[in-house]
Structure 1
Amino acid sequence: MPKLRSETFGSGDQSWLGSTHGIANARTSTLTLTAFTAATHYPDGYIPSGTAVNAADEGATVPFTGAEGEALGFILTDAPVDGGAVAPVPVLRHGIINVANLPGTFTVPTTGAAGFVFVGGAA
């Protein structure tokens, strides 16, 4: 008997986008899934759209911490996590971000956020 599973495809909740500016220019990055914590980053089996990432190395994208040298990006669409070590995702590198609608907890960084305008929250 084949091992079957069902999947649902969609873009996720993109209410964190303050406009459509930048979405056509999202760059493909490879998430290093071992850097993400299941209970924190993907309790529902996917990393949600709007998750802040450090996109300084597009071949090894990890969660954004605000440390020196990081380059802020946001995962544009939900990223399913299915037992792999890496996953390709579109990452928004510039645009308008509605902070109040981002998933999880996010603090607007003082450095490393070039290209972003933050609205609708603590900026």
Structure 2
Amino acid sequence: MPHLRQETFGSGDQTWLGSTHGLRNARTNVLDISTFTAATHYPDGYLRSGTEVNAANESAVTPYTGAEGEQLGYLLTDQKVHGTEDLGVPVLRHGIINISKLPIAHVATGDGTAATAGFTFVGGDN
């Protein structure tokens, strides 16, 4: 018998978006759920829209830490976590980010490096 589950879909709180720029260009990436921690990233079972991710490898997206070689991206919509199952997620790769509205601690800096290229940060210290 198949393992069926009922889910409700929504976009989540997207007030962290400073504009609609980049929304239509979000790419589907595979999120490596084993690199995220429940206590920090999804305490209520959801990865929140606006979570900073390292999208340097679109087949294994991980939390963004600011380390060399990372490429900044943001989860565009809330994502329900199901155990250790990796997720196909939409990742925003350029746009305007309202720092004060991000769902968890802001790591990225708006220093214009290749890692943060394409993003403009507003609404807080960057």
**TM-score > 0.5 by shorter chain:** yes
1:96–1:5: structure 2 CA closer, same or farther, 3 Å change rule?
Answer: same
Distance in 2 separating the partners of 1:43 and 1:4: 23
* Consecutive unaligned residues in structure 2, runs of 5 or more: none
* Consecutive unaligned residues in structure 1, runs of 5 or more: none
Q: What one-letter code is carried by the residue in structure 1 that aligns with 2:100?
A: A
RMSD: 1.6
In the superposition, the TM-score normalised over structure 1's length comes to 0.93
Structure 1 position 11, deviation (Å): 0.4
- CA deviation string 1:59-118 (max 9, x = no partner): 000000000000000000001101243100000000000000001110332431000000
In the superposition, the TM-score normalised over structure 2's length comes to 0.90
1:4–1:54: structure 2 CA closer, same or farther, 3 Å change rule?
Answer: closer
Runs of 4+ with >2 A deviation: 3-8, 107-111
Q: Tell me the number of residue pairs that the alignment of Structure 1 and Structure 2 aligns.
A: 122
Distance in 1 separating the partners of 2:63 and 2:55: 9
- CA deviation string 1:2-44 (max 9, x = no partner): x885532100000000000000000101000000001110011
**Identity %, equivalent residues:** 63
1:33-112 alignment, distance < 5 Å: 33-109=33-109, 110=111, 111=113, 112=115
